[in-house]
Amino acid sequence: MADLANISQNLIDGRAQVVGQLVTDAINEGVLLQSVLNDALIVGMNEVGRRFKANEFYVPEVLLAARAMHRAMDILKPLLADNKVQPRGVVALATIEGDLHDIGSNLVGMMLEGSGFQVIDLGVDCSAEKFVAAVKEHKPHVVAMSALLTTTMTNMKTTIHALDEVGVRKTVKVMVGGAPLTQRYADEIGADGYAPDAASAAELAAVLMNKGT
Ligand code: B1M
């Protein structure tokens, strides 16, 4: 009998190989994919997020858990696609133009995926034009921008302006984050939300989704 709590615990402990095996076993035993995702993996990632916020976990533990989550998602993704399980929402995520720091935004992406979002990863050094093109192509619910440099965070405003200019700003929620960012700056540039860390980013995306466009 599959023990979903055991999967969660191994995910929290960052044991990618064990998680992969347990997830495969659970599926073979007939546990619903949605249940493996929601009751084992997301529960585990939520706990990782909680510990990270409480300074009980640091970046290495989060990255290990993220790796285990990736392993599980690699197994689940093709099956979920076959079963047409709808993601909670779609988020287009990138580090802003001029900025190559991606560790934080990768963590944000993992926490979003762990919370059931489909993440369109636009990578690093993402220009306003690339964001606009991605919004037109993928029609995400949320655009998520990360910046680690005071010199690049200003490009977030340029991106919001570009979304506005082509008439798609009102079709998406925009959230921003990264070490030099603040709620005040987010308000100043007309973003819909700011999150200080990866766990809060996943929570914020869910809140923004519920607000609708
Ligand atoms: Co750079 N770097 N770096 N760097 N680097 C910093 C950011 C810096 C603070 C170091 C310092 O001087 N003390 C400084 C920025 C100063 C400033 O502008 N305020 C700096 C600098 C100056 C530079 C260069 C200009 C150095 C140079 O070449 N002279 C250069 C710029 C390159 C470029 O981007 N164009 C540069 C290069 C690099 C490396 C390539 C060597 C490497 C990046 C590797 C990579 O990412 N693949 C690097 C690194 C590793 C750092 C430090 C040491 C660590 C950053 C990191 O990954 N932190 C950093 C100093 C530091 O922070 N101690 C530094 C861990 C990560 C988990 O945290 O990214 O903050 P963080 O993400 C958090 C939150 O911010 C939040 O959630 C995450 C998890 O909780 N968050 C979001 C992030 N994005 C979010 C989005 C959201 C919500 C939350 O919603 C959308």
Mind listing the pLDDT tens digit for each residue in 89-119? 999 999 999 999 987 888 788 778 877 899 9
At residue 212 the predicted structure's pLDDT band, cuts being 50, 70 and 90, is: low
Question: What pLDDT sits at residue 106?
Answer: 82
Does ligand 1 lie within 6 Å of residue 103's CB atom?
A: yes
Q: If you measure from the C-alpha of residue 9 to the centroid of ligand 1, how many angstroms do you get, rounded to a whole number?
A: 30
Its pTM stands at 0.82
Q: If you measure from the C-alpha of residue 33 to the centroid of ligand 1, how many angstroms do you get, rounded to a whole number?
A: 36
Matching residue, tokens 């929402």: 89
Look at 132-141, 142-151, 202-211 and tell me which has the smallest mean pLDDT: 202-211
- Could you give the maximum distance between any two Cα atoms of the chain, in Å? 55
At residue 81 the predicted structure's pLDDT band, cuts being 50, 70 and 90, is: low
Does ligand 1 lie within 6 Å of residue 175's CB atom?
A: yes
The pLDDT of residue 78 is above 90: no
Distance CA 116, CA 130 (A): 24
Q: Which whole number is the average pLDDT over 149-175?
A: 98
| Residues whose CB is less than 8 angstroms from the CB of residue 211 and which lie 6 or more positions away in sequence, other chains included | 173, 192
Look at 13-22, 71-80, 126-135, 168-177 and tell me which has the smallest mean pLDDT: 71-80
Q: If you measure from the C-alpha of residue 93 to the centroid of ligand 1, how many angstroms do you get, rounded to a whole number?
A: 16
| 48-56 CB contacts, 8 Å cutoff, 24+ apart | 48/11, 48/12, 48/114, 48/199, 49/111, 49/114, 49/198, 49/199, 49/202, 50/199, 51/12, 52/197, 52/198, 52/199, 53/197, 53/199, 53/200
**Percent of the chain whose pLDDT exceeds 70:** 96
Q: Which whole number is the average pLDDT over 114-128?
A: 92
